[in-house]
Chain A
Amino acid sequence: MTMQAASTNQDAPVTALVNARLIDPASGLDQKGGVLIAGGRIADLGPKIDASAVGDAHLIDCAGHVLAPGLIDMLVFTGEPGHEHRETLATASRAAAAGGVTTMICMPNTEPVIDDVALVDFILRRARDTAQINVHPMAAMTKGLLGEEMTEIGLLRDAGAIAFTNGKTSLANAKMMRNVLAYAKDFGALIIHHLEDPSLAEGGVMNEGEISTRLGLRGMPPVAETIMLERDVRLVELTGGRYHAGQISCRASLEIIRTAKARGLPVTCGVSVNHLTLNENDIGPYRTFFKMRPPLRSEDDRHAMVEGVASGDIDVIVSAHDPQDADVKRRPFAEAADGAIGLETLLSAALRLHHHAGVDLATLLKALTANPAHLLGLDSGRLAKGAPADLVLIDPDTPFVVAPELLRSRSKNTPFDAARLQGRALMTLVAGRALYNYADPGSG
């Protein structure tokens, strides 16, 4: 079924990662120790795993750095199929590995749209043949993402579609949304929705407010997001379908999520690392690399997003990796494409919350590992015996400056150009195989 890259690699040698600070957000583990890997899975872990205890295993000394489950990025766009000049599964997976991401969930906004069993199969095969990390496709919940006809949710799920979405647009038709939620419920399928009332957001290119007025740009009001979220919560209440708001961006949305959760509804949400670390002021003189959907909001909204991660009300942090080439970005702001790359900078940017907002590492990593794994029903995202050896070794502290030309993504539209970040992935392992090693420039 779904592809766990190289997980059938039974002949892989036994590897031991020792002298690490083990952090497993799923179990709350945070202690010194090591991890023993055999057959692509975690054979053992804990304080007893040290250099003297692992025999002739291939030994990796973690030098006291953090060893955690590999990151699971729930919101990634690639250009394959249809726009390979922006990004392929292969290039995205190299960027992911360099960022400590071991599993990426791909959006169906490709050409053609992933709305058919054969196309899900295509992605899985291409991922198996070309991608280094685990790839799971999402499928469209309406044909062609047009919002008119439901896709074959049951068959698509059997083929390996891990969740269903309407891509970069909201399903405006409430009756259709009701039907999708109700029907998906029968298959236990997760619906991941973009929040943007199309009439309220029409023509908007950034957050509505003083800055949009000063720049003379059409605004997208936060209410375009909250109205859609309120509606969806009511429909979840009606149908019982599992619902995940792909990205929330404003304080009012967080309040809605909190209320829905308090009422016991199967509602979860994500936030992009961009909305945790940037705000509308970063657009400055029409910088199109900061143009995204949902738009970057106010500093107060950003604070709310950070609070939401710290409190656990926001379940998941995503990169919202969306590669766009220079041709569609070097345009007047209103005419430029939305989106920013983020796979490779996801971890480092998220660590800003640890360094500057006091969010502890386990909480931060939970939103990047255990929570997405739980929502998607993956057996990764945890340090546990028998779990896939998808791991990341993290130096949380060493500062560096982002150099876009060194990023592995085929597109270079990063909003973190020349940003000072602190902490990065030192080594990334998928199914026990080291795909990326910061100390070895030849890797990745």
Chain B
Amino acid sequence: MSIAAEATEFSFPHRHLLGIEGLSRGEINGLLDLAEEAATVSRQVAKKRDDLRGRTLINLFFESSTRTQSSFELAGKRLGADVMNMSTGNSSMQKGETLIDTAVTLNAMRPDILVVRHHAAGAVELLAQKVDCSVINAGDGSHEHPTQALLDALTIRRHKGRIAGLIVAICGDILHSRVARSNILLLNALGARVRVVAPSTLLASGIARLGVEVYSSMWKGLEGADIVMMLRLQRERMLSSLVPSQREYFHFFGLDYDKLACAKPDALIMHPGPMNRGVEIDSIVADDARSVIREQVEMGVAVRMAVLQALARHLPNH
């Protein structure tokens, strides 16, 4: 019944998934293999598995999210877990309860897995120190978003057959992006050549030390790229004068056919969503045949199933 067949039995000696940092190449590949199977299962009529039967999964979202939360919910349900969603709107966090109090309270309800998103970097790790269950980071501030990086890698691997040696250009708001950080760590671990492309105001200090090539021109940064990964530009960045206007940003950093022509002809177009059509990506490019944006969403469920399965192996049985 378990889709974690003996063939994909790999070592994943972690209680939590707090980030890509700290994962080995073997662990990442193991998760991707497991996710590949989950993707197959998810395309069948009978999607339901029992890996997490009797387990409780709580989605604890301190920051609003549609796709990540529903993706985890679906992944949990497909594996037979009982899933509960909590978000700040209806939690006592709004009544001044601290993060640790919330953690301790939830812990007392004996969940098996907590999926947490928080606006502060490190908050998920802090929470993980205070609970007995497994914790999955669904995004902490500008720090990490490990399942996003895993689903991106899975999508790439399905199309290109490999990660190693590919030129991946990550474009846009690098400074604030947890997606960029997790992707840089993961893609480097699997041997890709990673570039970041952004105006200097949206580059994080010392980013080159993370092992990336830095470009401030899209035309140059996309040259020969196998993968063009666009990031969402948050509109409030314009108010804080990091970018002068939407018009200027789109002109120099928005993905259109002119800039895309610099990449390899079969380059994949990716975006973690939600997209600002006409801001960081031309609408017609987003819907191009080379765009795998919708497949990323599908792989999101598969990757989250894989992560839940991997962590479930270490859950206590009595």
Report if A333-B120 is in contact (Cβ < 8 Å); known contacts: A214-B181, A216-B181. yes
Question: How does the 8 Å CB contact mask read for A220-241 relative to B, with 1 for contact and 0 for none?
Answer: 0100000000000000000000
Question: How does the 8 Å CB contact mask read for A387-410 relative to B, with 1 for contact and 0 for none?
Answer: 000000000000000000000000
In this assembly, does B140 line the interface, its C-beta being within 8 Å of a C-beta of chain A? yes
In this assembly, does A327 line the interface, its C-beta being within 8 Å of a C-beta of chain B? yes
The reply to whether A332 and B205 contact each other, CB–CB distance below 8 Å, is no
Could you say which of B63-71, B159-167, B206-214 contacts chain A? B206-214
Question: How does the 8 Å CB contact mask read for B177-209 relative to A, with 1 for contact and 0 for none?
Answer: 010010000000000000000000000111101
In this assembly, does B100 line the interface, its C-beta being within 8 Å of a C-beta of chain A? yes
In this assembly, does A57 line the interface, its C-beta being within 8 Å of a C-beta of chain B? no
Residues of B contacting A48 in the complex (Cβ-Cβ under 8 angstroms): none
Question: How does the 8 Å CB contact mask read for B127-143 relative to A, with 1 for contact and 0 for none?
Answer: 00000000000001111
Nearest-CB residue, chain B, relative to A212: B205
Report if A334-B98 is in contact (Cβ < 8 Å); known contacts: A208-B205, A215-B121, A285-B125. no
The reply to whether A216 and B210 contact each other, CB–CB distance below 8 Å, is no
Residues of B contacting A218 in the complex (Cβ-Cβ under 8 angstroms): 142
- Contacting residues of chain A (279-336) with chain B, CB-CB under 8 angstroms: 285-286, 327, 330-335
Q: Shortest distance in angstroms between B187's beta carbon and chain A's nearest beta carbon?
A: 15
The reply to whether B120 and A335 contact each other, CB–CB distance below 8 Å, is yes
Partner of A216, one of B99, B126, B142: B142
Q: Shortest distance in angstroms between A443's beta carbon and chain B's nearest beta carbon?
A: 37
In this assembly, does A217 line the interface, its C-beta being within 8 Å of a C-beta of chain B? yes
Report if A213-B207 is in contact (Cβ < 8 Å); known contacts: A330-B100, A331-B99. yes
Q: Shortest distance in angstroms between A148's beta carbon and chain B's nearest beta carbon?
A: 25
Cα(A209)–Cα(B123), bound, Å: 20
Q: Shortest distance in angstroms between B208's beta carbon and chain A's nearest beta carbon?
A: 9
Report if A214-B210 is in contact (Cβ < 8 Å); known contacts: A209-B205, A285-B125. yes
In this assembly, does A219 line the interface, its C-beta being within 8 Å of a C-beta of chain B? yes
Question: How does the 8 Å CB contact mask read for A330-374 relative to B, with 1 for contact and 0 for none?
Answer: 111111000000000000000000000000000000000000000
Residues of B contacting A212 in the complex (Cβ-Cβ under 8 angstroms): 204-206
In this assembly, does A417 line the interface, its C-beta being within 8 Å of a C-beta of chain B? no
Cα(A214)–Cα(B181), bound, Å: 7
Partner of A332, one of B21, B126, B181, B204: B126
Residues of A contacting B117 in the complex (Cβ-Cβ under 8 angstroms): none
The reply to whether A213 and B205 contact each other, CB–CB distance below 8 Å, is yes
The reply to whether B98 and A216 contact each other, CB–CB distance below 8 Å, is no
In this assembly, does B173 line the interface, its C-beta being within 8 Å of a C-beta of chain A? no
In this assembly, does A210 line the interface, its C-beta being within 8 Å of a C-beta of chain B? yes
Q: Shortest distance in angstroms between A241's beta carbon and chain B's nearest beta carbon?
A: 34
Count of chain B residues with a beta carbon within 8 Å of a chain A beta carbon: 24
The reply to whether B98 and A285 contact each other, CB–CB distance below 8 Å, is no
Cα(A209)–Cα(B203), bound, Å: 11
Q: Shortest distance in angstroms between A227's beta carbon and chain B's nearest beta carbon?
A: 17
In this assembly, does B122 line the interface, its C-beta being within 8 Å of a C-beta of chain A? yes
The reply to whether A213 and B206 contact each other, CB–CB distance below 8 Å, is yes
Partner of A213, one of B100, B120, B204: B204
- Contacting residues of chain B (36-62) with chain A, CB-CB under 8 angstroms: none
Report if A210-B122 is in contact (Cβ < 8 Å); known contacts: A215-B143, A216-B142, A332-B99. no
In this assembly, does B304 line the interface, its C-beta being within 8 Å of a C-beta of chain A? no
Cα(A218)–Cα(B242), bound, Å: 14
Nearest-CB residue, chain A, relative to B127: A332
Cα(A212)–Cα(B142), bound, Å: 10
The reply to whether B120 and A332 contact each other, CB–CB distance below 8 Å, is yes
Residues of B contacting A327 in the complex (Cβ-Cβ under 8 angstroms): 98
The reply to whether B121 and A210 contact each other, CB–CB distance below 8 Å, is no
Partner of B122, one of A208, A213, A219, A333: A333
Q: Shortest distance in angstroms between A174's beta carbon and chain B's nearest beta carbon?
A: 22
The reply to whether A210 and B210 contact each other, CB–CB distance below 8 Å, is yes
The reply to whether A332 and B122 contact each other, CB–CB distance below 8 Å, is yes
The reply to whether B121 and A221 contact each other, CB–CB distance below 8 Å, is no
Cα(A214)–Cα(B174), bound, Å: 12
Residues of B contacting A334 in the complex (Cβ-Cβ under 8 angstroms): 120-122, 141
Report if A286-B125 is in contact (Cβ < 8 Å); known contacts: A214-B181, A331-B99. yes
Residues of A contacting B16 in the complex (Cβ-Cβ under 8 angstroms): none
Cα(A367)–Cα(B140), bound, Å: 42
The reply to whether A330 and B121 contact each other, CB–CB distance below 8 Å, is no
Residues of A contacting B207 in the complex (Cβ-Cβ under 8 angstroms): 213
Cα(A286)–Cα(B124), bound, Å: 11
Residues of A contacting B118 in the complex (Cβ-Cβ under 8 angstroms): 332
Nearest-CB residue, chain B, relative to A334: B120
Report if A221-B120 is in contact (Cβ < 8 Å); known contacts: A210-B210, A216-B142, A331-B98. no
Cα(A217)–Cα(B100), bound, Å: 20
Q: Shortest distance in angstroms between B84's beta carbon and chain A's nearest beta carbon?
A: 23
Partner of A217, one of B121, B206, B210: B121
In this assembly, does B144 line the interface, its C-beta being within 8 Å of a C-beta of chain A? yes
The reply to whether A216 and B100 contact each other, CB–CB distance below 8 Å, is no
Nearest-CB residue, chain A, relative to B145: A216
Residues of B contacting A208 in the complex (Cβ-Cβ under 8 angstroms): 205
Cα(A265)–Cα(B218), bound, Å: 50
Nearest-CB residue, chain B, relative to A202: B240
Cα(A331)–Cα(B210), bound, Å: 27
Q: Shortest distance in angstroms between A284's beta carbon and chain B's nearest beta carbon?
A: 10
The reply to whether A216 and B178 contact each other, CB–CB distance below 8 Å, is yes
Report if A209-B141 is in contact (Cβ < 8 Å); known contacts: A330-B98, A332-B121. no
Residues of A contacting B205 in the complex (Cβ-Cβ under 8 angstroms): 208-210, 212-213, 219, 221
Residues of B contacting A215 in the complex (Cβ-Cβ under 8 angstroms): 121-122, 143
The residue in B98, B122, B125, B142 that gathers the most chain A C-beta atoms within 10 A of its C-beta is: B122
The residue in B21, B120, B178, B207 that gathers the most chain A C-beta atoms within 10 A of its C-beta is: B120
Nearest-CB residue, chain A, relative to B143: A216
Residues of A contacting B181 in the complex (Cβ-Cβ under 8 angstroms): 213-214, 216
Cα(A208)–Cα(B204), bound, Å: 9
The residue in A209, A212, A217, A332 that gathers the most chain B C-beta atoms within 10 A of its C-beta is: A332
Additional 15 contacts, C-beta under 8 A, given A221-B205, A332-B141: A211-B206, A212-B204, A213-B181, A213-B204, A213-B205, A213-B209, A216-B121, A216-B144, A216-B178, A217-B121, A217-B142, A330-B100, A330-B126, A332-B99, A332-B123
Question: Can you list 29 residue pairs at the A/B interface with Cβ under 8 Å?
Answer: A208-B205, A209-B205, A210-B206, A210-B210, A211-B206, A212-B206, A213-B207, A213-B210, A215-B122, A215-B143, A216-B122, A216-B141, A216-B142, A216-B143, A216-B178, A216-B181, A217-B122, A217-B141, A217-B142, A218-B142, A286-B121, A286-B125, A286-B126, A331-B98, A331-B126, A332-B120, A332-B122, A332-B126, A334-B121
